[in-house]
Structure formats: structure tokens, C-alpha cells
Amino acid sequence: MVENTELNKLYDRKKIAQYWLLGVVLITYCSLQINRYSILINIDYSLHEVISALANLMWLIPIFSIVYIILTVKYLFKRRLKQRPAIDRLINDLIIFIAVCGMSGMIVYYLGEVSTSGVIKIEEKIVENDQYYVVINEKKIKVTSNEFHLIDESQEYLGSYVWNQFTPDKGKLTRIGY
């Protein structure tokens, strides 16, 4: 009976670490999304800055991941894989694992986002499957239909576009002018 209470305490510690990990990943993900789309910038700039600062919690993700992995391994060794875990515990752990991995992957992807601004030269205009693109600095940049029809090839414009380091050949035009 002593072993069961010790096993339950270890399981409870593992769950606490798991929920802390999920919470930190969720807060980081949400603050990056709010910052990325500038949702609060027009409402209250100081609130926008506070929420953006919460993205710095991302540096805690590896620490909480290591703590969670260590506690999970300890729990499995204590249990010695003799007992089968309850199906609801497995489903709960699997859902949280998928959520943490998915959001962590998206956080890493969003951190690779780059905004390029300045004088841009339209090298080529492309239409594919009712989607409009222009080529700028060898990057295929998505534009709206209006932008596509208003700009000319081989012309220089003042503008900006967003692209990602993980997909450097694609991007999206955010602003263009003369």
C-alpha cells in the first residue's frame, strides 16, 4: 500500500509538470498570436506590450519539458510497466502531448517570420489557380487581385512583405505604394 501512495504522489507531480508545460506553451502561443496580428495595439498599447512580453516565457518550455520527461520516466520505472494505465489517463496524456507538440512547432515556425521593407522591384507577375503572385527578390509573394492589376512588372515600389525562413521562397505582401 505504501508503494501505491508513493506511485500516486509521483503521478500527481508528473501531472502538475505536464499542466505547467501546457500552460506555458499556451500562454506563449497566444501572446505570439496577439502580437503577430496586432490585435490589441489599437485598443490599449500598454496592454499589447504586457501581453507581448509574455512571449518570453518560451524560454521556460525546454525546462518544463525536461522536468516532465524526468518525472514521466521516474513514474514508469516505479510502476515497472506491470500495471496498465487507465485508458482515460492515456487519452489525457496523449491530447496534452499533441497540443504541446503542435503549439511548440507553430511557435518555432512563427519565430522564423521575417518582414522585409523598402524599395522592392517586381520581377514577374504570376497567376496560378485564381491566386495572384509577384516575384520579388526571387520570392513568390502572394498579392490580392487589386494589387496584382495595379502594379507593373520591372517597376520599383515602396513596400513590405512577410516571409518565413523555413519557407524562404513564399511570402505575402503587406503594403505597397509609390
One digit per residue, pLDDT tens: the chain, 178 residues? 456 788 889 889 989 999 999 999 899 888 888 887 777 777 777 777 788 788 888 888 889 989 998 988 888 888 776 666 678 777 888 888 898 899 889 888 988 999 899 999 999 999 999 999 999 988 999 999 999 999 999 889 999 999 999 999 899 999 998 7
State the burial class of residue 159 (Cβ atoms within 10 Å of its Cβ: 0-12, 13-18, 19+): buried
Distance between CA atoms of residues 96 and 17, nearest Å: 12
CA distance 163 to 171: 4
What is the rounded CA–CA span in Å between residue 162 and residue 116? 6
What is the full DSSP assignment across 40-107? STTT-HHHHHHHHHGGGGGGGHHHHHHHHHHHHHHHHHHHTTTSPPPHHHHHHHHHHHHHHHHHHHHH
- Cα separation, 161 vs 40, whole angstroms: 22
CATH code for the structural domain at 114-177: 2.40.50.140
| Total-model pTM | 0.71
Domain limits, the chain: 2-111, 114-177
